Structure 1
């Protein structure tokens, strides 16, 4: 038992003024390819959206690894520098961990305490409170080196 549409070609020339070939919806294989293409495109869009936001677990791992990286690297300050805003360094350290997307993290310095940062990310409901304590190591000329002691709490600041 054969139908007329089984003899239709899978690809036909476009009727929109171009010379390209398109799937033929009158052929069962062409129709299946159209549906499959739409499903694949939808799946790709969903994957892109899901991978563009942080999960709570990704943020937690990234913040912990960033805290370890900040502690491992000495920081150099000028002699007259009383305060350093570590927000940028925190963001870079989180990005270098490789967890989550490479954007969407905010490290906001708390107004009432200059060494406390609230870390949030797009898509994550969790917030982390990072406290940085500077321990002086040595002074050379106009610069001094400090070691950072970093603690992280799983809460808003």
Structure 2
């Protein structure tokens, strides 16, 4: 939508510039043929009209460029997604993941799909949006072995991220003041790999 609006503004700006370039004698001739009794226009009127048309054209171009910038900033490109997914995979590989005694993540929003989505969005770079990333889990996923179809709004490419959870007893944690075994956070390390294309 913003792209169409920007193109319309560029076309209108081009027409305004063409209008500003029309010679005064030609305008006087047209005016005379349409209304022979009209008073003569002074040269100053044409100067003011040219300045006004030029200012309007420049304003249209500026607004059109801003519209394209907003449009670009609201969608992911394939290159942005590729770079973000690669960086997110690198950062999540070896990630310390803790669960409570019932197997739920200690941090409630640290489900695998949310971890992937957050890391990809954070690694999108300055031009990429901070949202629009989707890590859709496959139906056969388990806590220990899971696959996610990673896509982003505006990008045509998709990626398959595979997460394996590996037990890391040395990283188990019992809060201070509690006896070991009273409440233990069980630790895992995530092994994360990503490939381009469907899972």
- In the alignment, structure 1 residue 51 sits paired with structure 2 residue 73: yes
* C-alpha RMSD of matched pairs (Å): 2.4
Instruction: Find the structure with the greater CA-based Rg.
Output: 2
1:18-57 Cα offsets, whole Å, 9 max, x none, are: xxxxxxxx52111100111111111111121122111111
Unaligned runs of 5+ in 1: 11-25
1:66 maps to which of 81, 88, 93: 88
Unaligned runs of 5+ in 2: 1-22, 26-40, 174-180
Aligned to 2:163: 132
TM-score (norm 2): 0.64
Distance 2:80 2:24 in 1: 55
- In the alignment, structure 1 residue 41 sits paired with structure 2 residue 63: yes
TM-score (norm 1): 0.80
Higher helix residue share: 2
1:65-101 Cα offsets, whole Å, 9 max, x none, are: 1111112431111122178731111111112214321
Match runs of 1:54-133 below 5 Å = 54-81=76-103, 85-99=111-125, 100-114=128-142, 115-133=146-164
Distance 1:105 1:43 in 2: 26
Distance 1:27 1:112, change over 3 A: same
Q: 1:5, CA displacement in angstroms?
A: 5.7
Question: Counterpart of 2:197 in 1: which secondary structure?
Answer: coil
4+ residue segments displaced more than 2 Å:
1-6, 82-85, 139-142
Higher strand residue share: 1
Q: 1:137, CA displacement in angstroms?
A: 0.7
Q: 1:2, CA displacement in angstroms?
A: 7.5
